[in-house]
Amino acid sequence: MTDSYGRNIDYLRVSLTDRCDLRCTYCMPKCGVDNIPHKEILTLEETARIVRIMAGLGVKKLRITGGEPLIRRNVTGFVRLVSDITGIEDICMTSNGTRLSEYASQLKAAGLHRINISLDTTHRDVFSKITGTDMLGKVLEGIDAAYDAGFPIKINCVPMKGVNDKDLDSVALLAKERPIDVRFIELMPIGCGKEHTGIRSDTVLHQLEENFGKAEPYERTDMSSPAEYYRFSGFCGNIGFISPMSHKFCRYCDRARLTSNGFLKLCLQYPDGADLKTPLRSGCSDDDLSEMILAAVRKKPLQHSFSDTDMTDDRKMVQIGG
């Protein structure tokens, strides 16, 4: 499946819900969002059907996200469903970690390969300010549980001026004793992200080098992976930087997103895409759905332009699926 710029689209990020047990200030408004009514949300079987059709068109890698995916009932069953789909080689999840101590071993047994866990601070008071909850302890337990279950783990941290900028060293230290990668992601001006000021990756790298010494860059082999990795002496894991603002990686973009109500979205910034729920529920065949998916993929925008124009998609990150 290629878009009109010749990019091979083989990575699908599937949001299973727009609900979340945290209220990260840069992702979700304090008062929450108007949740999509349950009947509008695709069933796990409907979502798995779209995944199967897209696997037939060349999707190999799947990420399960949300909202918080572990809020959705029977996520483990969904992992089992998609791990049986021919062509899907890699199944990952992005989670806030609050429920991982309960689910990690079941997810491993069901066929999940890897987990990314979001953590912006290791300080309880800052965590409460960012997420509106006192669940840091549960997230740290979740990281331990995922590690004990044998998952490769990446920690994702979004640095923000005046919020968690003093905590980045302590988040990076999660990569010291265990082979866990810690990645710093530049804040994007999506939804509530516009209300905060992000920090450039090179600034974060310099800040870490002041504490941990010179970082050694890793040669990037997979151009579709947006992260650039470094290694600090004495660390078991790597430190990565994802820099959508300072170093656009759109020309290597290989992904599409499916929202929990069945909208296929081709770029984080723009609202363009295809509603797959309506045709799916009105009896369309797999072949018809394949045609709609291919037509939408052909219209994938060349790149985001967060820095020059206003966002045109009103959805918040929690509704899109990060």
| Cα gap 56→1, rounded to integer Å | 9
CA distances from 67 to 71, 120, 123, 140, 177 (A): 8, 16, 23, 19, 30
Interface characters, 1-20, with ligand SF4 (x: CB under 6 A): -------------------x
Q: Which stretch binds ligand SAM (CB under 6 A): 90-98, 102-110, 144-152, 212-220?
A: 90-98
| Dihedral (Cα; 272, 278, 280, 283), 10-degree rounding | -140
Select from ligand SAM, ligand SF4, none the partner in contact with residue 95, using the beta carbon and a kind-dependent cut-off of 5 to 8 Å: ligand SAM
List binders of ligand SF4 among 154-213 (CB under 6 A).
none
The single residue among 1, 9, 16, 22 that binds ligand SF4, judged by CB under 6 A, is 22
Single residue of 130, 187, 258, 311 touching ligand SAM by CB under 6 A: 187
CB 146 within 8 A of CB 153: yes
Q: Name residue 272's amino acid.
A: D
- State which residue, 130 or 250, has the beta carbon closest to ligand SF4: 130
- Residue 28 touches which of ligand SF4, ligand SAM, none (Cβ within 5-8 Å per kind): ligand SF4
Q: Which does 121 bind (CB under 5 to 8 A by kind): ligand SF4, ligand SAM, none?
A: none
- Taking CB under 6 A as the criterion, the residue among 12, 79, 85, 188 binding ligand SAM is 188
Q: Pick the closer one to ligand SF4 by CB: 133 or 224.
A: 133
Contact (CB, 8 A) for 261 and 277: yes
Handedness of CA 191, 194, 196, 198 (dihedral sign): positive
By beta-carbon proximity to ligand SAM, the closer residue of 300 and 304 is: 304
Least distance (Å) from ligand SF4 to the CB of residue 19? 9
- The β-bridge partners of 12 are 62, 256
Distance CA 87, CA 67 (A): 26
- Would you say 155 or 215 has its CB closer to ligand SF4? 155
**Pairing assessment for the beta strands 239-242 and 227-231 based on DSSP bridges:** antiparallel
Nearer to ligand SF4, 88 or 92 (CB): 92
Which among ligand SF4, ligand SAM, none contacts residue 185 (Cβ within 5 to 8 A by kind)?
A: ligand SAM
- Judged by CB under 6 A, does residue 25 bind ligand SAM? no
- 261 Cβ partners below 8 Å, 6+ apart? 18, 36, 40, 41, 42, 277
What's the chain's Rg over C-alpha atoms? 19
Complex with ligand SAM: residue 53 or 164, whichever CB lies closer: 164
273: alpha, beta or left, given left = phi > 0 and alpha = psi -120 to 50?
A: left
> Pattern 82-121, binding to ligand SF4, x per CB under 6 A?
--------------x---------------------x---
Decide which of ligand SF4, ligand SAM, none touches 188; Cβ closer than 5 to 8 Å per partner kind.
Answer: ligand SAM
DSSP state at residue 195: G
Output the DSSP codes for 144-193.
HHHHHTT--EEEEE--BTTTTTTSHHHHHGGGTSSS-EEEEE----SGGG
Q: Which of 1, 9, 16, 24 is close enough to bind ligand SF4 by CB under 6 A?
A: 24
State the minimum distance, in angstroms, from the CB of residue 137 to ligand SF4: 16
Residues that bind ligand SF4 (CB under 6 A): 20, 22-24, 27-28, 66-68, 96, 118, 317-318
